């Protein structure tokens, strides 16, 4: 091969190698950028979070504020309609139970996010049935306790029964 051809091949290989690196980096850039846009959109579309009277915990997403949905809730008389945290870091927090299923855990995709090392990322689930709320533990590491006893099978939750997950204790009220 002539000197010139050799030089072109050598330089060409390095250029293509760097093109590979740069396209990888541009994918990362696009990834970071689109994610920022996405999270902004999500933020804007979220209903304003429940205000917690004690602390400024922001991680409780996907819930509409109490006054806004009170009308829907009062139509269902028998079933408890609010979840009140009575102990733990979120003490005083009230959540309006306006959907069929409330997932509880540490991961941000839960409806009720508990920031607690003793809570699993997908810890438990509250499901609305015709007879009221059913609490199911999702194989959590540290368990879910109802009135002091660890639950295995799904348990119906009546008003004023105390549920403990990690350091958080809450109950359902009418």
Partner 1 sequence: MAKAVGLFRVVPKKRNLELLMLLFGFGLYAFELSQVQLATIQILREDAWFIWSLPVVAASVFHIVLRLRASDADPIILPIGFLLNTLGITMIYRLDLVKSATDADRAVGERQVVWTVIAILLAALVLWLVRSHLTFRKYIYSSMALGVILLVLPLLPVIGNPTSGAYLSVRLGPVSFQPGELAKIAFIIFFAGYLTSRREALAVVGRKVFGIRIPPARELGPIVVIWLASLGVLVLQRDLGTSLLYFGLFLVLLYVATGRTFYVLVGLVMFVAGALIASRLMSYVGNRVSAWLDPLSEANYEAIGGSYQLVQSMFGLAHGGLFGTGLGGGLPSIVPLAESDFIISAIGEELGLVGIFALLSLYMVLVARALRIANAHADDFSKLLAVGLGFVIALQCFIVIGGVLRVVPLTGLTTPLMAAGGSSLVANWIIIALLLRLSDTLPKPGTVGE
3-state helix, strand, coil in the chain (%, to 5): 30, 25, 45
Candidates 64, 120, 140, 144: give the one binding partner 1 (CB under 8 A): 120
How near is the Cβ of 17 to partner 1 at its closest, in Å?
5
Q: Does 39 bind partner 1 (CB under 8 A)?
A: yes
CA distance 28 to 68: 41
Candidates 121, 132, 167, 169: give the one binding partner 1 (CB under 8 A): 121
Query: Three-state DSSP class for 6?
Result: helix
Please check whether residue 73 is in contact with residue 56, taking contact to mean a CB–CB distance below 8 angstroms: no
Residue 93 CB: number of other CB atoms within 10 A? Answer: 23
How near is the Cβ of 163 to partner 1 at its closest, in Å?
21
Q: How many residues lie near partner 1 (CB under 8 A)?
A: 30
For residue 99, the Cα-to-chain-centroid distance in whole angstroms is 15
Candidates 29, 33, 41, 149: give the one binding partner 1 (CB under 8 A): 41
Please check whether residue 115 is in contact with residue 106, taking contact to mean a CB–CB distance below 8 angstroms: yes
Q: Does 127 bind partner 1 (CB under 8 A)?
A: no
Q: Which of 111, 103, 132 is nearest to 64 (CA)?
A: 111
Binding mask 80-119 for partner 1 (x = CB under 8 A): --------------------------xxxx-------x--
Residues of this chain that bind partner 1 (CB under 8 A): 1, 6, 9-11, 13-14, 16-18, 20-21, 23-25, 27-28, 38-39, 41-42, 45, 62, 106-109, 117, 120-121
């Amino acid at each position: 091969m002539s000197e010139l051809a050799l030089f072109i091949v050598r330089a060409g290989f390095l250029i293509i190698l760097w093109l590979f690196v740069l396209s990888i980096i541009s994918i990362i850039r696009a990834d970071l950028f689109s994610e920022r846009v996405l999270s902004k959109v999500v933020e804007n579309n979220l209903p304003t979070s429940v205000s917690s009277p004690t602390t400024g915990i922001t991680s409780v997403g996907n819930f509409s504020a109490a006054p806004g949905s009170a009308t829907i809730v009062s139509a269902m008389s028998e079933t408890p309609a609010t979840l009140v945290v009575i102990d733990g870091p979120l003490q005083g927090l009230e959540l309006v139970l306006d959907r069929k299923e409330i997932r509880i855990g540490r991961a941000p995709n839960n409806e009720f996010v508990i920031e607690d090392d003793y809570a699993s990322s997908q810890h438990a689930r509250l499901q609305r049935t015709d007879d009221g709320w059913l609490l199911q533990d999702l194989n959590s590491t540290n368990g879910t306790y109802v009135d002091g006893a660890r639950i295995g099978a799904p348990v119906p939750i009546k008003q004023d029964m105390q549920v403990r997950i990690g350091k958080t204790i809450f109950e359902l009220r009418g």
